[in-house]
Amino acid sequence: MLHTLSVKQMSDQLHAGEITSVELTQHYLDRISKYDPELNAYVTVTPELALEMAREADEQLKAGTAGLLTGIPVAHKDIFCTDGVKTTCSSKMLDNFIAPYDAHVVSLLKKAGMPILGKTNMDEFAMGSSSESSYFGPTKNPWDLNAVPGGSSGGAAAVIAANLAPMATGTDTGGSIRQPASFCGITGIKPTYGTVSRFGIIAYASSFDQAGPMTRSAEESAWMLNAMSEFDQRDSTCLEHERPDFSADLESSLQGLKVGVPEEYFGEGLDPEVEKIVKEAIAQIEKLGATIVSVSLPNKDLAVPSYYVLAPAEASSNLSRYDGVRFGYRCENPSNLQDLYKRSRSEGFGAEVKRRIMVGAYALSAGYYDAYYLKAQRLRRMVRDDFTKAFEQCDVIMGPVAPTPAFNIGEKTDDPTSMYLADLYTIPVNLGGFPGMSVPAGFAAGRPVGLHMVGPYFSEAKLLNIGHQYQQVTDWHKQTPAHYQ
């Protein structure tokens, strides 16, 4: 039952010589073999690589040179380039792509001694809120196989919830770490934009994309963020400043903390059960010493429409590289160069990716740039300024992660607007580049619900402190679907 141990317990037993990393890694590989066929959470499993890395970790443990995470297996979202391993971004376009180098995050976690179990399923090119748009089929939610796990890091969230990996990487462009964390009952944090290098992460929308950890607890997320956050000169948007020890303040008291609750977050469209759970969680944090203050985010409703102009605009530019010439899918027997471009992209991309490329290209086209793209950038500034003003009154903002618990597979696939609104509360955070976090806070009709916390720039340590203190007096983060215990 090694999978029932916390990461700290695993690390202690590894360092004490009570278990080896090979035993721990093989245990997870056995569980993946048994349970993943019903979840479809992994795109690629790498048993030989995992065991080779586990043997190297065991050597470090014997030599006394191991760190806290040495020997702890990890799963990577299939958007991170991984040297010698297929990196598909869950797209037919990259089905045959084997990355020739590691993303910076992958390099750092390799350096920490974490064996790679495999690559997790996701929405194609990270475009989606349900992990249903994958070329390899939808991932299912371990709490209810009829439900989605959220997206786009749905595979990563599902493998943590089902105990098919103790830790996983995710990326968050419009809520893709926090929303699946909420839907699957795990902990996930999106750091301040620029805190984690984007080098080697296949780009969707470059001014929004940010990588972060997905784990069971806030404490484990702090340790993982320590390992994956480092300045990288290969990413021009990576912030050059000293990273703090994100676990240093976990035990600090919440006395005096000011929690802002936006009135706009508890209105029409919010599921009553979700509202009740979130308000109970905020009340629990108040009992720990926090003071609740009312704040306003008046431009909340501008976030989704502006995001769905800006992100597709960036996507249409980033994805122009997939033309069937340099790498990726190429159509068969093209009649000329134009036919090669056209059919390679038509056959290689899925429906949601094509929709966003078309929207983005239209917004950037001559005659429409001022009307759409430029106006959306102005709205982005207004949304960001709302948060900046609110943070003058409080230390952190709390509310729901999503309007509902996980919805059913196929429920929203024919209604893109309804799907986009699933990210109603998470998108504003990406527009501003702020850090945000989801921690498990309860269940609605048997499906998990997360508490959303947003802080000012570089407040990751404070968010992790709040999450850890909340998890000291609650056990939502320790609950596991009965079938996967």
Give the active site residues: 77, 152, 176
- Please answer whether residues 174 and 209 qualify as being in contact, where contact means their C-beta atoms are separated by less than 8 angstroms: no
Q: Which amino acid is at 54?
A: A
- Tokens at 459, concatenated: 């407040």
- Please answer whether residues 285 and 319 qualify as being in contact, where contact means their C-beta atoms are separated by less than 8 angstroms: no
Q: What is the residue whose two structure tokens read 């086209």?
A: 365
- Written in H, E and C, the secondary structure of 80-92 is ECCCCCECCCCCH
SS3 444: strand
In angstroms, the Cα distances linking 9 to 60, 389, 464 are: 18, 42, 20
H or E segment and range at residue 187:
strand 187-190
Strand 396-400 to 291-295 pairing: unpaired
- Which parts of 288-336 fold into alpha helices (H)? 303-318
- Residue 257: Cβ within 10 Å count: 21
**DSSP letter string over 450-476?**
EEEEE-STT-HHHHHHHHHHHHHS--G
DSSP state of 16: T
Give the torsion through C-alpha atoms of 179, 476, 243, 384, to 10 deg: 40
Angle between helices 47-63 and 21-39 (to 10 degrees): 150
The rounded distance, in Å, linking the Cα atoms of 384 and 430 is 9
The residues facing 179 across adjacent strands are none
- Tokens at 114, concatenated: 């974490």
The rounded distance, in Å, linking the Cα atoms of 407 and 394 is 32
Order of strands across the sheet that contains 211-215: 42-45, 116-120, 74-77, 168-171, 211-215, 187-190, 436-444, 447-454, 396-400, 258-262, 291-295
- Tokens at 452, concatenated: 């959303």
